[in-house]
Amino acid sequence: MEIAIIGGGAAGFFLAVNLKTFAPQVEVTVFERQADVLKKVLVSGGGRCNLTNTFEGVTDLKQVYPRGHKLLKGLFKQFGHRDAYRWFEAHGVPLVAQDDHCVFPTAQDARAVTGCLKSLAAELEVTVKTSHRVETLTPSGGKYEITFQDVRQGRLLFDCVAVTTGGSPRGESFAYLERLGHRIETPAPSLFTFNIASPALRGLMGSVVNPVSVGIPCTKFRHSGALLVTHWGMSGPAILKLSSHAARLIQEKAYRFPIFVNWTNETNSETVTGILQDMAQRHPQKKISGLRPYDLPARLWHYLIGKSGIAPDRKWNELGHKGICKLADTLCNDRYDVDGRSTFREEFVTCGGVSLESVHRQTLESKTCPGLYFAGEVLDIDGVTGGFNFQAAWTTAYTVARAIASHIPTA
């Protein structure tokens, strides 16, 4: 029995090695369109590979998977983050969980992960062919025929095919799957930082506040976490979570939209007003610039004072109720206009892809094409930063490997 895996990334390799483990007698070939495999794994996590998360504090998968959380809730019962942790350690990759719950190889090197997958694939005799970009995928007499762009070879037929090509911002990348009757959710970038054309803000480059809350006015989108001011605008977990959850809305607005920042992360602005009033009563003769609420960075505090129309050398007893309310409003509802996006490091995540309504949820097999499966980001599944996207790749790949193996007669 011959199996083709289209896509030589995390999901593709994990699927291949697990399938060969479950069913050593099958012939498995991985086709990768680029000249090398596992490239995204190598650059992820700043070259360290944040390959999963402990999920501590995650009470609802929707918090970390804007799309696909319902599907993953069921699949995680078969292969979840603890299973992934044990799998990699059992295959020679010791892991460590950081204080922020992100899991990395103890070696702090993504090559520990790619080396493991490549070595295991070679040991299990998985065939890997690079520079093979799929041109057509066609059902043919109970099998699947695959042709490739710029590759001269005869007709290649396979008993089963698994598509693990990852996400893509270009809808045409899914055209051959759409022709087979699958619904394609329009792709959109879903993990990026915000460009903000404000020289004054950019002058605060390097300032970090944790936690803040950020949101898009007049929408349900509001998220908390650390925020980093950069030379192009804003980054950090709070921004990345917002970009992920609001990906489709932001795309509709052509990446030009307003946001607000609550530098205090307080849910009630009256609480902030009360804290400022208390500071004024306790330190009436001190300069406003000399006392910082919420341990805000000094440069940021001076900036916010100025943005409130208050001179930095004024004393607390000179503010008055109106001045305190204005300062509280700036702290809780600081407005900016986003005028573009930037990719987060070398990582690129998209929402969209093959609709989850087009697959059987227990096996990820196509509803329209028996013997055709999907795993990884080619599905309309994506997570926030923190190892969640890789975990979805491991889980869906394992699910497909089990499903295919269950149809293979034991020798």
| Contact predicate 117/8, CB 8 Å | no
Q: Token digits for 34?
A: 């680029």
* pTM of the predicted protein model: 0.93
Q: Using CA atoms, how far apart are residues 31 and 148, in angstroms rounded to an integer?
A: 10
Right CATH number for 2-188+346-405 from 2.70.210.12, 3.40.50.300, 3.50.50.60, 3.20.20.60?
3.50.50.60
Query: Which pLDDT score is estimated for 410?
Result: 73
| Contact predicate 331/258, CB 8 Å | no
Largest pairwise CA distance in the chain: 87
Query: Which pLDDT score is estimated for 335?
Result: 98
Query: Hey, which residues does 335 pair with through a beta bridge?
Result: 260
Q: Using CA atoms, how far apart are residues 245 and 219, in angstroms rounded to an integer?
A: 12
Number of H helices, E strands in the chain: 13, 20
Cα 54 to Cα 50, 139, 210, 332: the distances in Å are 11, 41, 21, 31
Give me the residue label for tokens 């020798």: 411
Q: Token digits for 371?
A: 């013997």
Residues of the chain with CATH 3.50.50.60: 2-188+346-405
Q: Using CA atoms, how far apart are residues 228 and 238, in angstroms rounded to an integer?
A: 9
Element (DSSP H or E) covering residue 95: strand 95-97
Cα 391 to Cα 48, 54, 57, 138, 191: the distances in Å are 15, 10, 16, 30, 16
Query: Which pLDDT score is estimated for 346?
Result: 53
Q: Using CA atoms, how far apart are residues 118 and 37, in angstroms rounded to an integer?
A: 9
Give the residue from 183, 179, 180 showing the smallest Cα distance to 353: 183
| Contact predicate 305/327, CB 8 Å | yes
Q: Using CA atoms, how far apart are residues 24 and 394, in angstroms rounded to an integer?
A: 20
| Contact predicate 357/183, CB 8 Å | yes
Q: Which bin fits 310, alpha (ψ -120 to 50), beta or left (φ > 0)? A: beta
Query: Which pLDDT score is estimated for 169?
Result: 77
Query: Which pLDDT score is estimated for 344?
Result: 62
Cα 349 off chain centre by: 6
The one-digit pLDDT tens for each residue of the chain (411 residues) are 999 999 999 999 999 999 999 999 999 999 999 999 999 999 999 999 999 999 999 999 999 999 999 999 999 999 999 999 999 999 999 999 999 999 999 999 999 999 999 999 999 999 999 999 999 999 999 999 999 987 777 679 999 999 999 988 777 889 999 999 999 999 999 999 999 999 999 999 999 999 999 999 999 999 999 999 999 999 999 999 999 999 999 999 999 999 999 999 999 999 999 999 999 999 999 999 999 999 999 999 999 999 999 998 999 999 999 999 999 999 999 999 999 999 765 557 899 999 999 999 999 999 999 999 999 999 999 999 999 999 999 999 999 999 999 999 875
* Mean pLDDT rounded to a whole number for the chain: 96
Give me the residue label for tokens 């196509």: 366
Q: Token digits for 148?
A: 């490739």
| Contact predicate 15/402, CB 8 Å | no
Coil, strand or helix: which one is 27? strand
Query: Which pLDDT score is estimated for 411?
Result: 58
- Stated length of the chain: 411
Coil, strand or helix: which one is 212? strand
Give me the residue label for tokens 């992934």: 84
Q: Token digits for 134?
A: 């799929």
